[in-house]
């Protein structure tokens, strides 16, 4: 099954953060799932790194590329259809990165692995 990871799920999984739920951990570690990270997540992490809000053990680009490769995660690019999907979303969540991930999941018809209660208010399949 294809799964789109929310940014926090990706970060918590690669760092062993105890906030990651057991269900999300199982989804992340299962070889039967095809994992994706949305390009908005990369953008969000780089912005937060530059603002000093996301400590990483090495330069962001090298670290994230290695984590993606080691954890068999592909990048899901933000397509025009995903952006147009944003117009149909109710204004329930103010975070533009999360809204873009929701639009990607809806546009691709794949579940979003998230622990964000606000994201779960949208008509998108959420796991984790």
| Number of domains forming the structure of the chain | 1
CA–CA distance, 128 with 111 (Å, rounded to integer): 10
Residue 75: which domain range? 2-127
pLDDT at 84: 94
Tokens of 112: 């979003």
For 35-53, the DSSP string reads EEEEHHHHHHHHHHHHTT-
Q: Could you tell me how far CA 91 lies from the centroid of its own chain?
A: 19
pLDDT for res 52: 95
Task: List, for residues 26-38, the tens digit of each pLDDT value.
Answer: 999 999 999 999 9
pLDDT of the residue at 20: 98
Instruction: Confirm if 24 and 8 have CB atoms less than 8 A apart.
Output: no
Token pair 């090298």: residue = 62
pLDDT surpasses 90 at 2: yes
Would you state the structure tokens that stand for residue 103, as one six-digit string?
Answer: 């639009």
3-class SS at 109?
coil
> Structure pTM?
0.94
CATH value at residue 84: 3.40.50.1010
pLDDT at 94: 85
- Which pLDDT value is given to residue 30? 94
- Rounded CA separation 18/49 (Å): 21
Residue 42 pLDDT class (50, 70, 90 cuts): very high
Length in residues, the chain = 128
The pLDDT of residue 55 is: 92
Residue 91: band (very low, low, confident or very high) from pLDDT cuts 50, 70, 90:
confident
Q: Taking residues 48-64, report their average pLDDT.
A: 94
Q: Which residues, 6 or more positions from 30, have their beta carbon under 8 angstroms from its beta carbon?
A: none
């Amino acid at each position: 099954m294809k799964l789109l990871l929310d940014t926090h799920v990706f970060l918590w999984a690669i760092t062993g953060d105890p906030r990651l739920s057991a269900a999300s951990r199982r989804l992340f570690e299962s070889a039967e799932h095809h994992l994706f990270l949305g390009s908005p997540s990369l953008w969000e992490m780089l912005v937060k790194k530059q603002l000093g809000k996301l400590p990483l053990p090495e330069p962001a680009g090298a670290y994230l590329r290695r984590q993606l490769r080691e954890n068999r995660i592909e990048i899901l690019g933000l397509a025009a259809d995903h952006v147009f999907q944003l117009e149909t979303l109710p204004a329930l969540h103010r975070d533009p990165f999360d809204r873009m991930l929701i639009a990607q999941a809806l546009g691709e018809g794949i579940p979003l692995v998230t622990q964000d209660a606000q994201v779960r208010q949208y008509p998108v399949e959420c796991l984790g």
